[in-house]
Chains A and B, each alone.
Chain A
């Protein structure tokens, strides 16, 4: 192994940190590729379309009336920071998909944002209690710069998969690379396998 002259670890590593990640503490860096959009809740909708029996759309009031749940845990950004022990509240993607009923051929989703951003995910990564549409962070409304009024949350994958200003899921029978995935980032993005870039 090549080690760096003079560099020492700062005590035991937090087991919640995937390889190559560090604990950013109370900061929450904001990373977006363009301008921060204003998406008023009056105009906000979330839809599930594509290969489903019942294409579905929820308004802000409708989605907030669904049974909510909380994710408590960690998030991991591909740029090497992680935030540990935080909580989001929203609705499980399972509930949204069960209303739309994906066809048997469905294998992937393309998450879309009110801004045009897209990111692709296997259906198995957004089902089974592992993905949410969230509108609350640590008990407060999700800030606009972090994707408010609502964003996708898929915390077991790198955080670019958790589309800000989320507008819906397009259910597909194949994988279709989204914005960052076409720009060299991995199609799956598992932080524990360090799937950062295409080919990792």
Chain B
């Protein structure tokens, strides 16, 4: 996936909190590819082993850099899909975009044992620290940073804090399908539904969100710009105030 990292020249920050410190990017470091898994026909997860245990929060991202023998480099930023677990590994999920210089290389050329370079973690706004109620709403590959949050909640025994709603076109487009069952998760299909599915295909509506949420819930929205706008409207409709909604939009990055 390609969440584009954070700063869009600006943002609608109604209440500017002084943010608590977050893990900061260090220098470029080597990252050995230890495993590659297909998530869908167009998305793969790359498990990368760093030189030490990375300190990061769910929602942060890393920049991945490719270097050619002539010194040419190409970099893209990718949200971390894994939750910190004390190991030296991070997982990045990358959607293959036709013509995308970095994503096609990662999909078509990279094999376990290869060495890449990464820098991170980056981002201090779209992060979840694991100790507050969170509504996670993702569209398509926008699921990736939210998955890191869900995985952290499960790992630390705090699944009660999170509820994840993911919207995809059809079952073939769903990342991490094996982990998206249970009471903390809802999957919505906008075009094709699995056999026997009762909800007709539809975009996210306010009825798709939990009917009651803790007043301290923060909503995290990640997806395309149009998805993010629609999701934000639904979340406002569900009673979450605007200053408790954090949005990470992404556009195409190759």
Residue of B nearest to A199 (CB): B24
Instruction: Name B246's contact: one of A10, A30, A33, A198 (CB within 8 Å).
Output: A33
Residue in contact with A159 in the complex, picked from B9, B63, B254, CB distance below 8 Å: B9
How far is the CB of A87 from the nearest CB of chain B, in Å?
17
> Are B12 and A36 within 8 A (Cβ)?
yes
19 additional contacts (CB under 8 A) given A29-B249, A35-B236, A77-B7: A4-B66, A29-B252, A30-B249, A30-B251, A31-B4, A33-B10, A33-B125, A35-B245, A37-B12, A79-B253, A116-B13, A147-B9, A159-B7, A163-B9, A164-B8, A164-B10, A179-B11, A184-B122, A198-B24
Known A-B contacts A1-B71, A32-B247; A118 and B225 likewise in contact (beta carbons under 8 Å): no
Residue pair A33, B124 in contact (C-beta under 8 Å): no
A-B contact count (CB 8 A): 200
B179 interfacial by beta-carbon distance below 8 Å? no
Contact, CB under 8 Å: B249 / A6: no
**Interface mask (A142-171 → B, CB under 8 Å = 1, otherwise 0):** 000101000100000011111111000000
Select the stretch in A20-28, A46-54, A64-72, A91-99 that faces chain B: A20-28
Closest to A6 in B: B109
Task: List, in ascending order, chain A residues with CB within 8 A of B253's CB.
Answer: 24, 29, 79-81
Chain A proximity of B100: nearest CB distance (Å): 10
Partner of A185, one of B7, B15, B247, B249: B7
B7 touches A79 (CB 8 A): yes
Determine whether the beta carbon of B19 is less than 8 Å from that of A115: no
CB nearest to B120 among chain A residues = A197
Chain B proximity mask over A55-91: 1 for CB below 8 Å, otherwise 0: 0000000000000000000000111110000000000
Which residues of B pack against A, CB within 8 Å? Answer: 4-16, 18-19, 22, 24-25, 30, 63, 65-77, 101, 105, 109-110, 114-117, 122-126, 225, 229, 232, 236, 242, 245-254
Contact A35 B10 (CB under 8 A): no
Asked whether B123 lies within 8 Å of A115 as measured between CB atoms, the reply is no
**Contact assessment for A2 and B67 in the assembled complex, using a CB-CB cutoff below 8 Å:** yes
Chain A neighbourhood of B10, CB < 8 A = 32-33, 113, 115, 117, 119, 147, 151, 160, 162-165, 179
Contact B72 A80 (CB under 8 A): no
If over half of A's interface residues share one DSSP class (helix, strand or loop), that class is named, otherwise mixed; here it is loop
Roughly how many angstroms separate A185 CA and B7 CA in the complex, as a whole number?
9
Q: Is there an interface contact between A30 and B225, defined as CB atoms closer than 8 Å? A: yes
28 A-B interface contacts by CB (under 8 A): A4-B66, A4-B68, A9-B68, A20-B65, A28-B251, A29-B8, A31-B4, A31-B7, A33-B12, A33-B125, A33-B247, A34-B12, A34-B245, A35-B242, A36-B12, A79-B5, A80-B253, A81-B253, A116-B16, A119-B9, A161-B9, A162-B9, A179-B10, A182-B19, A182-B124, A184-B25, A197-B24, A198-B24
CA A30 – CA B9 in complex, angstroms? 9
Q: Which of B9, B15, B123, B232 has a CB less than 8 Å from the CB of A35?
A: B232
Contact A79 B77 (CB under 8 A): yes
- With CB as the reference atom, state the residue of chain B lying closest to A200: B25
Query: Is there an interface contact between A3 and B69, defined as CB atoms closer than 8 Å?
Result: yes
Residues of A within 8 A of B126 (CB): 33
Inter-chain CA distance A77–B72, complex, in Å, is: 19
How near does chain A come to B199, taking the closest CB pair, in angstroms?
Answer: 26
CB of A32 within 8 A of CB of B249, answer: yes
> Known contacts A20-B75, A31-B7, A183-B125; is A9 also within 8 Å of B24 by CB?
no
Distance (whole angstroms) from the CB of A116 to the closest CB of chain B:
5
Task: Assess whether B72 is in contact with A32, with CB atoms less than 8 Å apart.
Answer: no
Most buried by B among A7, A13, A37, A198: A7
B16 near A80 with CB under 8 A, answer no
Interface centre among B13, B18, B67, B242 (most CB of A within 10 A): B13
Query: Would you call A117 and B13 a contact (CB within 8 A)?
Result: yes
